[in-house]
Amino acid sequence: MKHFLVLGALFMAAALVTPMSAMADDHHGEKRYYDRAHHDYHYWNAGEDREYRSYLVERHEVYVPFVQVNRRHREEYFRYRHEHGFNIEIR
């Protein structure tokens, strides 16, 4: 009888942990960057890349992939994103 209680507890624990592990994988395949000034993460996806390119056009800068830019440039971009919001324009 004790074996069934232990086995039941293991199944219950697995049933509780499985949904949490599935939710933790929402940004699968996206690289994330930590914003020290605002204490949050920015997930790099197609939408964020579009915003980054428009940021560079607005500042009249040449496109450099975000992976290759230095920390100071990343912090400037994150500050810009927080000041201008995270709204996505639909055209």
Residue 79 has pLDDT above 80, yes or no: yes
pLDDT at residue 47 in the model? 87
How does pLDDT run across 13-41, given as a tens digit for each residue?
A: 666 655 555 555 556 668 889 999 888 88
Residue 71 has pLDDT above 90, yes or no: yes
How does pLDDT run across 5-15, given as a tens digit for each residue?
A: 766 776 676 66
Residue 80 has pLDDT above 60, yes or no: yes
Q: What is the dihedral of CA 36, 38, 41, 45, to 10 degrees?
A: -110
Cα separation, 51 vs 55, whole angstroms: 6
pLDDT at residue 19 in the model? 59
